[in-house]
Amino acid sequence: MQYSRKGEVNKFFHRINWEKSMVYIIFVAVFIIFSLTLGDRGFLSSTNLLNVMRQTAMISIMSVAGTFVLASGQIDLSVGSVAAMTAMIVALTIQSTNSIFLALLLGLIFGLIVGIINGLLVTKLKIPAFLTTLGTMQMIRGSAMWITDTAAVPITNKTYNTVFGIGSIAGVPVLIIWTIVFFIVGTYVFNTTIFGRHTLATGGNEISAKYSGVNTDRVKLKVFMMSSAFASFAGILYAGRMQAGRYSFGNGDEMSVIASVVLGGAAMSGGTGSVLGTLVGSLLMGIISNALILGGLSSSQQTIVQGFIIVAAVGISNIVQGKNKK
């Protein structure tokens, strides 16, 4: 009887997809640990938890698109810079015209143009995505610093700030609502559409995908356009939340996005991914960052811990993938 129970337990653990379940297990464990150790410092308060979700909204939205990027076997390091530049474009447009529509239009067009450039450089000139997006990241960040000589551009339009930053509906912050909207759209596209299936096929085995009739170059182009468009919208939310445009917005966000997506079950080599897992990974990063602040760690110490998390996430992903291949 004892051996039978052990056999059933072993079968149960073998049936678990550890690669897809890892982020949920880690999330629950981390949440319990911080609840026990930081409960007396307000970690479990509704105000603090809502603040965590507000702070991670922009990362979460960029990470939804990041799921498609990594699933297709690519990488996009330009998202943080695109968000910053979009925030600057929006702030400058509202400052000069007070037109919210024009500001949103120009910001999103900018993101799409960057996505097209990244996609064409990768697909037509065959420049690796890492180098392509690293270059555009630097150029865009430098341009954001240059256009106002590093000065912030305030946004005084209350309607814009309310709808895209500091407002709430029925007590729920608009930043959380925007996150839910992008999560639903991303989940639907990734799980139920031909584009989602082609994205996974392209990252899983590009040659096989081509023989199956998938236009992999077109898939990559669309993925980069989606990534930059989502990053632009994140910049729009940055501007609304901070009521200003600043060149420093999104600095380091590309690493947080990669960590969130990998923690969510995506492989750096492509072919796998989960939008829900990515969202949980993003919230996990936000909770850890919040706990470090409540624990009294300095910003430099927080950066060290976040860097460790990124390395650990990729390492765990590679280990689990290696076991699955065996």
Tens digits of residue pLDDT in 283-324: 998 998 899 888 888 878 878 887 787 777 667 666 666 655
pLDDT interval class at 265 (50, 70, 90): confident
pLDDT for the residue numbered 55: 92
First to last CA, the chain: 31
If we measure between CA atoms, which residue out of 240, 188, 275 comes closest to residue 54? 240
pLDDT for the residue numbered 89: 97
Q: Where are the domains of the chain?
A: 21-317
Do the Cβ atoms of 256 and 59 come closer than 8 Å?
yes
pLDDT at residue 73 tops 80:
yes
Phi-psi region of 273 (alpha: psi -120 to 50; beta: other; left: phi over 0): left
Tens digits of residue pLDDT in 78-135: 999 999 999 999 999 999 999 999 999 999 999 999 999 999 999 999 999 999 999 9
> How far apart (Å, rounded) are the C-alpha atoms in residues 322 and 326?
6
- Percent of the chain at pLDDT above 90? 70
pLDDT for the residue numbered 76: 97
pLDDT at residue 50 tops 80:
yes
> How far apart (Å, rounded) are the C-alpha atoms in residues 244 and 7?
60
Q: 233 or 272, which is more confident?
A: 233
Do the Cβ atoms of 82 and 232 come closer than 8 Å?
yes
pTM: 0.90
pLDDT interval class at 10 (50, 70, 90): low
If we measure between CA atoms, which residue out of 217, 249, 223 comes closest to residue 107? 249
pLDDT interval class at 39 (50, 70, 90): confident
pLDDT at residue 242 tops 60:
yes
Q: What share of the chain is helix, strand, coil (3-state, %, to 5)?
A: 80, 0, 20
pLDDT for the residue numbered 139: 97
CATH topology of domain 21-317: ABC transporter involved in vitamin B12 uptake, BtuC (1.10.3470)
If we measure between CA atoms, which residue out of 217, 92, 209 comes closest to residue 148? 92
pLDDT for the residue numbered 17: 57
pLDDT for the residue numbered 199: 97
Do the Cβ atoms of 259 and 63 come closer than 8 Å?
no
pLDDT for the residue numbered 300: 82
